[in-house]
Structure 1
Amino acid sequence: MSGKPRRYRYRAWHGGADPLEPPVDLRSALDAIGREVMEGASPRAALEELLRTGTRDSSGLDELTRRLWQRRAELQRRHNLDGTLNEVRRLLDRALSQERQALSAEQGEDARFRELQLDALPTDTAGAVNELANYDWRSSDARETFEEIRNLLGSEFMEQRFQGMKEALQQTTPEDVERVRRMLDDLNDLLAAHARGDDTGEQFDRFMAEHGEFFPEQPRDVDELIDALAARSAAAQRMLNSMSEQQRSELAALSQQAFGDPRIGQALQRMDAQLRGLRPGEDWTGRARFRGDQPMGLGEATAAMAELGELDRLAEQLGQAYPGARLEDIDLEALERQLGGQAVVDAQRLSEIEQQLRRQGLLERASDGSLRLSPRAMRRLGETALRSVISQLRSRRGERDTDRAGAAGEPTGTTRPWAFGDSEPWDAGRTVRNAVLRRAAEGTSSPLLDVSDLEVAETEQRSRSAVALCVDTSWSMVQDGRWVPMKRTALALHHLVATRYRSDALQLVTFGRYASTVDVGELAALEGTWEQGTNLHHALLLAGRHLRRHPDAQPVVLVVTDGEPTAHLEPDGTAVFQYPPAPRTLSATLSEVDSLNRLGATLSVFMLGEDPRLEAFVDIVARRGGGRVVAPTPDGLGAAVVGDYLRTKRRR
């Protein structure tokens, strides 16, 4: 073999998404969805908001749509639809000038009569051209110029319906005109047979064998042929709709002069009518306003209308507002034509986010068909909330995060990979098993034992707690910006108990006019509603019921509220509201505080806001319940509640 070193050449990647780009950041996407859900949005609406606004790495659907509308506006501001009519007028004026110049050099009555004929021509372009259709030109130059008009009209009308025909028909001969006429007649016969349902594949094959040169897109069957023709014909109709009535009338009259053969225009009109019947779903009624100074011919204008139609379809696909909309509906080829390759990459990444969220079980369908966050998603949101809380605790009190399931005590029966700083005992069986499996995969030359093989046995606290977290869900919590911090606090505490103190029993209780027990998913999705009443009495009743179900656990009650009690529960289950609070409400609430105290419960109140009446009430609660009062800011609420829970664990 040659000893020459191989040389490699590196070029820009143009094959779609960068293959070296990191995978989509699902954690960041889930956090964004979680924030929206906790602020009251449904998971479906939260996902749609994420797709609309995009991520750090990808433009959202709104930005892509904005760029589409910008491109649409630029196209309409730049052009106008007068190109063909202006060019016909210019050629007509030149032909008339050439003819008058030839006539002026002649003597005799015939020349004067012809000059009178020219002076009496209709003032409109179409009328003049049609009047001159049978005129016997004296000037050969004028005759050639008039033929240019006919060929221009023929090529433009053909370009309207058959893209690329204008260039092919620039040097038109009578034989070319006859080929076009014959193709149109055969095409109309094929369309009519298809409409009746008696066309055959052989008929289509014969048509393409004879006239395939007119169809560079090479349709595979008659339906593909009709689709392509109908899209172009509908764009031509939208262009006509966008013109003035006078312009439309002139073009209709001029169509009879296409290639100097009225049968061409008639065949095109028949074809348009058949296509409209075969594809009524195409947009045949739309219109657009062009207000620029760059004139377009009929073919260019039709292409511009087709492009506007493509932009409108893309905008609809990106809007995702129609029933059953999916990101997979987006026409990526059209998107690349209009906005470039990066737009395709952004759309693909957004689609991948949606697919991965569903595929990895982070979003799931409820029994009623609605979308909701799965338990796995709630764990991830709780982990994020807890990490934020722990970082606040560390910065505030110098504490460090720990991955231990418990500070010391009994094994939980579970293991986890060893991490730096762990002091739990190794699980020898799991560690050896990991090493054997790794060496079997990597080969016997790999190390006998690697750090990645190590697993430690998790432990849990010997003392367990029954914890009731009671959170105020009255309207003032939403109004004063405390709604989301309250939910994050509940998520963080729930995740801490579920992952590190698994023997503890946590119950979440919400209270407004009434109180109720909820799971963490229900709390995260809870929407704020206008409802008067802060029924702490009912919440403490439910908390006490939870504590009594766990008589062997240390009872802990944590209350988050921004207002004094204004409602209590009557023996018949009716909630009574009154503001300022009635003595009966305060008495019933404090009576339940005393009941919790007799159970030995530790009661901590986290007071949000600076309400003097609330301060006076919680001071009484602290004295009678032997608990403590904390007044955190909304941003510090999570650290305060989790820190208080951990303090009770350390104290025991």
Structure 2
Amino acid sequence: MTRGSRYQRYEGGDPLAPPVDLAEALDAIGEDVMAGYSPERAMREYLRRGDSDRRGLDDLARRIAERRRDLLESHDLDGTLREVAELLEKAVLAERGQLARDVDMDDGDRVLRQLQLDGLPASPAAAVSELSSYEWASSEARETFEQIKDLLGRELLDQRFAGMKQAMEGATDEDRAAVAAMLADLNDLLEKHARGDDTTEDFERFMERHGDFFPERPGSVEELVDALAARAAAAQRMLASMSPEQRAELMELSQQAFGSPALNEQLARLDGNLQGLRPGEDWSGSEQFGGGEGLGLGDGTGVLQDVAELDALAEQLQQSYAGARLDDVDLDALARQLGDEAAVDARTLAEIERALRSSGYLQRGSDGQLRLSPKAMRQLGRALLRDAADRLSGRQGARELRAGGGSADATGGTREWAFGDTEPWDLPRTVLNAVRREVATGDRAAGTRGVRLEIGDVEVVESEQRTQAAVALLVDTSFSMAMDGRWVPMKRTALALHQLVSTRFRGDRLELVGFGRHAEVLEIEQLTALDAIWQKGTNLHHGLLLAQRHFRRHPGMQPVLLVVTDGEPTAHLEGSGDVWFEYPPHPVTLARTVTELDNVVRMGAQTTFFRLGEDPGLARFLDALARRAGGRVVAPELDDLGAAVVGSYLGDRAARSPWGGSGGSGGFGGFGRGFWAG
């Protein structure tokens, strides 16, 4: 026996598209976190903006608002009234022509008919009502007038059951009787359901008898009520959106639907049942239409259903309610309103949100707040380090650094072999790469015993220099850093250097010190999440004291001091531990700062100052400190700060390496993107 298969349209976007890449999302979120946003807010902002490959929530919401506005501004609601008036005019004109041509008609009868036609009310509804008992002399006029009754019946049905206007065109008396029977049974079912007396068999019998009227094939009474109530509520909002005159006309005309008030009575009964079962629907709202394209009752109801759906989508995309998730967005509705591409964008954003929450990049702390996890910090650090590498490799005279370290101590890492490498092969990874390649390309036949190596399969063992360093990165966290837009570049620099040391030079010891009004040792997670400090004071004196403590803890390592600042020292520690602050810088503050720098120099530290900004006083001061310490001053642009610090660190390592080398001018030369590869 064969099992039957069912097929439906694929709704997942490109079936061959790779899984969502979180790298760009994490980079953007990390930037906002370093700028002071909470991770939750940063994630929300990313989802709102989108990225280079997809629209964000803001763009989708804008398009939703534009479509809503276009629907209301391009239509009005008197389409049915216009059509009735046109048919009425056509019928009366045909009747007048027949009266003029019929020479056999009694003159008195002719005059009475003409007077009746001449005295018709200006209101189409009143005219139709008056002519409902008129004996038409013209068969063409009679047929046209019957079209009015038929139109009204089809429009009223189309208001509650989409598509009925077209389906009932040219309907017979038998078709109208089937509609009447369906409405009666439907109202009986809904009233029974409201009392709680209905059964599954009742619904199944109803669908078996009248299922052709419901092509959407609801699976239960509740689904049937949901669909009908949404349409009926839209019909009520359409009536409320009309002018009082239009509304009165239609209410009067509705009594003529199919030539009797019976249909209108059944529909009024249906509206009452649905409103009782779904009181939460918007039964009393209204909209302001301002266009010139007339809508019939059914089409107008459909437009208002679209407007309601657009409003629901706008709320879902806004994500402003408690517990909001992008999984809440109705993708089917979004595709109906904006097209499949918009639904794919929203689905991808939802996948990114789920992945960020489930992949371990965001963690909840003991206080319940989301934070970037160590995994996220490593990912962000890799991206920042890669950016620094790109900038270094673009400098004039730069060349790649092939070796991962300086001599024979393995780092535990491997990388792809490149011409000129002398490191030993990592045989297990090399063979595994070859097997994977052959399987992926289909080159490996079943039962094959050997493996064919290619150059691209080879990986070599990385080694690390034996010379180790104790690195103190002192970053200015004073008021001016935040005020002048240097806060985030400072954090990016610290994170890139932390990533480099923790992954490629694990034997080195890095300590991050923030110095503002006072100085403190910061973990990378603390520094990344540190809000801008709006407190005046640049206490380099305290920072140098903490750097010396770090160097003393690692007496066998080469001390390296890196200082990032945009201002002269304006604070120092007193013997009591209190902070002394004065601006302009006090001579005592400068003297104590210089004293501690001398202590650092006596410990043998290699020193580099990174000057931000164009303050001439700061330039003179740092130049003097660099000459005193035998170090150097680098004045990078903000975008180049990370590359400058990383390049300086690598240059100092090259100067200490067993095979020598030069860091080049400012510590940049000699190192490109190769220091992070692998």
TM-score (norm 1): 0.88
Which residue type is aligned with residue 344 of structure 2? V
CA separation of 1:18/1:208 partners in 2, compared to 1, >3 Å: closer, same or farther?
closer
In the alignment, the residues of structure 2 paired with residue 391 and residue 434 of structure 1 have an alpha-carbon distance, to the nearest angstrom, of: 27
Counterpart secondary structure, 1:284: coil
Corresponding residue SS for 1:396: coil
Q: Is the 8 A contact 2:570 2:589 kept in 1?
A: yes
In the aligned structure 2, how far is the partner of 1:624 from the partner of 1:547?
19
Residue-by-residue CA offset, 1:155-205 (whole Å, 9 max, x unaligned): 100000011211232224444333323322222222122222222112222
Which range is displaced more, 238-247 or 523-532?
523-532
Letter in 1 for 2:559: P
> After superposition, what is the alpha-carbon deviation per residue over 1:245-294, rounded to whole angstroms, capped at 9, x for unaligned?
22122222222222122232122122112212322333334433333322
Name the residue aligned to 2:464.
460
1:427–1:221 distance in 2 versus 1, CA, 3 Å: closer
**What's the offset of the Cα at 1:435?**
7.8
1:48-67 superposed matches below 5 A: 48-67=44-63
Residues 201, 591 of structure 1: CA spacing in aligned structure 2 closer, same or farther, 3 A cutoff?
Answer: same
Equivalence map 1:408-557=2 (5 Å): 408-412=407-411, 414-420=412-418, 421-427=420-426, 443-447=447-451, 454-557=458-561
Return the offset for 1:120: 4.9
Q: Secondary structure at the match of 2:561?
A: strand
CA distance in 1, matches of 2:553, 2:281: 67
Residues of 2 paired with 1:400 and 1:364: CA distance?
40
Alpha-carbon separation, structure 2, partners of 1:145 and 1:393: 84
Determine which of 607, 610, 613 is the counterpart of 2:614: 610
For residues 350 and 446 of structure 1, what CA distance do their matches in structure 2 show?
46
Aligned partner letter, 2:217:
Q
Aligned to 1:6: none
Shift of 1:402: 3.2
Residue 123 of structure 1: CA displacement? Answer: 3.1
**Aligned equivalent of 1:89:** 85
AA aligned opposite 1:65: A
- Deviation, 1:226, is 0.3
Alpha-carbon distance between aligned partners in 2 of 1:613 and 1:82, rounded to the nearest angstrom: 77
Alignment match, 1:315: 314
Taking the aligned partners of 1:90 and 1:453, their CA distance within structure 2 comes to 81
Which residue is equivalent to 1:213? Answer: 212
32, 40, 44: which one aligns with 2:36: 40
Indicate conservation of the 8 Å contact 2:609/2:633, yes or no: yes
| Structure 1 residue runs without a partner (length 5+) | 1-12
Q: Which stretch shifts more, 444-453 or 401-410?
A: 444-453
Q: Deviations over 1:45-64 (max 9, x none)?
A: 33333333333332333333
User: Which deviates more from structure 2 when the two are superposed, residues 295-304 or residues 618-627?
Assistant: 618-627
Secondary structure of residue in 1 paired with 2:564: strand
> For 2:147 and 2:185, how far apart are their aligned partners in 1?
27
1:406 alignment partner in structure 2: 405
**Aligned-partner residue type, residue 630 of structure 1:** V
Say whether residues 1:156 and 2:155 are aligned partners.
yes
How many residues end up aligned between the 2 structures?
639
Query: Greater shift after overlay, 414-423 or 601-610?
Result: 414-423
**Separation (CA, whole Å) in 2 of partners of 1:302 and 1:48:** 35
AA at the equivalent of 2:56: G
The AA in structure 1 aligned to 2:417 is A
Deviation (angstroms), 1:305? 1.7
Q: Given residue 247 of structure 2, which amino acid in structure 1 is its aligned partner?
A: R
1:69 aligns with 2:65: yes
Structure 2 CA distance for aligned equivalents of residues 531 and 174 of structure 1 = 86
Deviation at 1:136, TM superposition (A): 4.8
Q: Is the 8 A contact 1:391 1:401 kept in 2?
A: no
**CA distance 1:569–1:198, shift in 2 (3 Å):** farther
Q: Is the 8 A contact 1:607 1:630 kept in 2?
A: yes
Matched AA of 1:91? L
Distance in 2 between the 1:437 and 1:107 partners?
102
**Structure 1 contact 427–457 (Cα < 8 Å) conserved:** yes
Change (3 A) 1:203 1:553: same
Residue aligning to 1:10: none
SS at match of 2:395: helix
Tell me the CA shift for residue 437 of structure 1.
Answer: 9.8
Aligned to 1:345: 344
- Name the SS for the 1:123 alignment partner: coil
Provide the C-alpha distance between the structure 2 equivalents of 1:496 and 1:476, rounded to a whole number of angstroms.
28
1:637: which partner in 2? 641
Q: Which AA in structure 2 matches 1:337?
A: R
8 Å contact kept, 1:464–1:554: yes
Secondary structure of 2:622 counterpart: helix
- Give yes or no for contact 2:49–2:57 (8 Å, CA) kept in 1: yes
What SS is found at the alignment partner of 1:524?
Answer: helix
Residue 137 of structure 1: how far off its partner (Å): 4.7
CA distance, structure 1, for counterparts of residue 629 and residue 355 of structure 2: 49
- TM-score normalised per structure 2: 0.85
The 1:431–1:120 alpha-carbon spacing in structure 2 relative to 1, beyond 3 Å, is closer
Instruction: Output one character per residue of 1:362-410: Cα deviation in whole Å (capped at 9) or x when no partner.
Output: 3344343433333233223222322332333344353433364421143
- Higher mean alpha-carbon deviation, 622-631 vs 153-162, is at 622-631
SS in 2 for 1:557: strand
Q: Is the CA contact (8 Å cut-off) linking 1:98 and 1:139 kept in structure 2?
A: yes
Q: Give a deviation string over 1:215-246, Cα, whole Å, max 9, x none.
A: 22221110111011011112212222222122
Judged with a 3 Å threshold, the aligned counterparts in structure 2 of structure 1 residues 158 and 15 are, in CA distance, closer, same or farther, namely closer
Tell me the SS of whatever aligns to 1:610. coil
Q: Match of 1:48, as an amino acid?
A: R
Measured after TM superposition, the shift of residue 75 of structure 1 is 3.0
Change (3 A) 1:645 1:213: closer
Mapping of 1:114-513 within 5 angstroms?
A: 117-137=116-136, 139-396=138-395, 398-402=397-401, 404-412=403-411, 414-420=412-418, 421-427=420-426, 443-447=447-451, 454-513=458-517
| CA shift for structure 1 position 581 | 2.4
What amino acid does structure 1 have at the position aligned with 2:28? A
Q: What is the one-letter code of the residue matched to 2:651?
A: R
User: Which region of structure 1 is more displaced relative to structure 2, 228-237 or 138-147?
Assistant: 138-147
Cα shift readout 1:572-604 (whole Å, capped 9, x = no counterpart): 544343222233433443343234334333332
Distance (whole Å) between structure 2 residues aligned to residue 64 and residue 437 of structure 1? 42
